[in-house]
Amino acid sequence: MAVPLSPDRLLKALKDEGLTVVQVGNWRTHNRNHKGPWGPVNGVMIHHTVTQGTAHTVELCRAGHSALPGPLCHGVIAKDGRVHLVGHGRTNHAGLGDDDVLRAVIAEKPLPTDDEASTDGNRHFYGFECINLGDGKDPWPAAQLLAIEKVSAAICRAHDWSQRSVIGHKEWQPGKIDPRGFEMDAMRARIAKRLDAPKPPPAKPKPPAKPKYEPFPGTAFFRAGRRSAVVTAMGKRLVAEGCGRYEVGPGPAWSDADKKSYAAWQRKLGYSGTSADGIPGRTSWDRLKVPNI
């Protein structure tokens, strides 16, 4: 029994488990909370959609239909393993189910047979719809099964639940057959293995890529006596552009030859008069493309 995860915590839990998450519209506030409470939450419920096509299915689960308003779940698990979040809060996915099943989920014990529909499941379960026709023939790609495993493990990990907190719709409500095409006991075994395995540390953020070209160092940089490898690199680019006015060099010390060479570059760009004074400005510098040192 637990307070539902906030949208930010749910998103982080899924991403930390290595899932690719697609955030759909106003999913953070899209819910049916005006029809009743959401929480305390006790588990995760897995469904199949009886549909084909990711875009169509995601929109259907987000908006619902005339007989059942959306959202119809919290997330849609596509065949490529992507998780599309469509709602947060109470959603129309579980309907009425067996109170004995709920008690078993809370106690994390083996499930009894679901033989009655007396308890509001929308209040107590996170719901994930998985794209599949549910005819026993439509395949379950490995990427999709792995995503079901990861989604379930992520939420169980966040609430300190075991794999017994994950059930299928068919284990909750009499007459339901979803998910069809894999066994929930086998999926729970996968989830248990994932929860028992050491969690990999989060990937370290990559350092920002080094700029390809030297950023403009500012007009004050170019003064008599300035010595820098940047000045040498600038001079080489001016020579390459046919604007070099050097008898010797270019070298690292800012000189009159550098100033004359840069003035030639400014004139090449169309500047004249005081705008071609040989002192670099940001626009002319960026167009010179001095290689990064």
Q: What is the pLDDT of residues 247-292, one digit of tens each?
A: 988 999 999 999 999 999 999 999 999 999 999 999 999 999 999 9
Domain count, the chain: 2
**In which domain, by residue range, is 135 found?**
7-196
What's the CATH number where 82 sits?
Answer: 3.40.80.10
Residue that finishes a domain, picked among 139, 161, 196: 196
**Are residue 73 and residue 118 in the same domain, yes or no?**
yes
Task: Identify whether residues 170 and 256 lie together within a single domain.
Answer: no
Question: Average pLDDT, stretch 170-199?
Answer: 95
Nearest CA to 144 among 230, 213, 49? Answer: 49
Residue 106 inside a domain? The answer is yes
Q: Do residues 226 and 189 share a domain?
A: no
User: Are 253 and 181 part of one and the same domain?
Assistant: no
What is the percent of the chain where pLDDT is above 90?
92
Decide if pLDDT at 218 tops 70. Answer: yes
What pLDDT is stored for residue 199 in this prediction? 67
203 within domain boundaries: no
Do residues 54 and 116 share a domain?
yes
Of the chain, the percentage scoring pLDDT greater than 70 comes to: 98
DSSP state for residue 190 in the 8-state scheme: H
Please identify, among 196, 227, 250, the residue that sits at the C-terminal boundary of a domain.
196
**In the chain, helix, strand, coil percent, each to 5?**
40, 15, 50
My answer on whether 12 and 53 are in the same domain is yes
pLDDT grade, residue 207 (50/70/90)?
Answer: confident
- DSSP collapsed to 3 states, 198-235: CCCCCCCCCCCCCCCECCCCCHHHCCCCCECHHHHHHH
Averaged confidence pLDDT in the chain? 95
Whole-model pTM above 0.85? no
pLDDT at 293: 80
Beta-bridge partner residues of 120 = 96
- The single residue listed with the structure tokens 């020579």 is 239
Confidence of residue 94 (pLDDT cuts 50, 70, 90): very high
Band (1; pLDDT cuts 50, 70, 90) = low
